[in-house]
Amino acid sequence: MTCTTCQKDVAENSNFCYFCGARQPAAPHVQYVQKKLMRSADAKIGGVCGGLAEYLDVDPTVVRLVWCLIAFFTGLVPGTIVYLVMWLVLPPAPKPGVEVIVPPVATAPAAPAQGYTQPS
Ligand SMILES: [Zn+2]
């Protein structure tokens, strides 16, 4: 794409020009990124409170504290059920840059088939 101000070439979907710093018009498909409620990668238990905090843009510790207080004053069971339901319903947060590497399966050494005689 071309900068609307200085007419120099910049990468596709750039928000700003590298040369003059002018803001570039956003492409229609990237203009509105909807915030999604999902579990947080920064999780103490299931990531529900962290995910809520990220969605509401507040400190996760505050959400955890409020959740604990509500759960405590409602007799623990409702808060726990709501937490479990949310944990089941919310999609897990993607972890950018974290590649899952499956370690090679260790093969057990073969048992010695010979060279062993039962002591009599
Ligand atoms: Zn420019």
| Digit-coded pLDDT (tens) for 9-39 | 988 888 899 999 999 887 665 545 567 888 8
Predicted local distance difference test score (pLDDT) of residue 101 = 53
Predicted local distance difference test score (pLDDT) of residue 31 = 47
Counting as low any pLDDT under 70, the low residues of the chain are 27-34, 94-118, 120
Number of Cβ atoms within 10 Å of the Cβ of 119: 4
| C-alpha 2 to ligand 1 mean position (Å) | 8
Measured in whole angstroms, the distance separating CA 85 from the mean position of its chain's CA atoms is 18
| C-alpha 19 to ligand 1 mean position (Å) | 5
pTM: 0.47
Residues 23/15, Cβ–Cβ less than 8 Å: yes
Residues 96/42, Cβ–Cβ less than 8 Å: no
| C-alpha 32 to ligand 1 mean position (Å) | 23
Predicted local distance difference test score (pLDDT) of residue 100 = 47
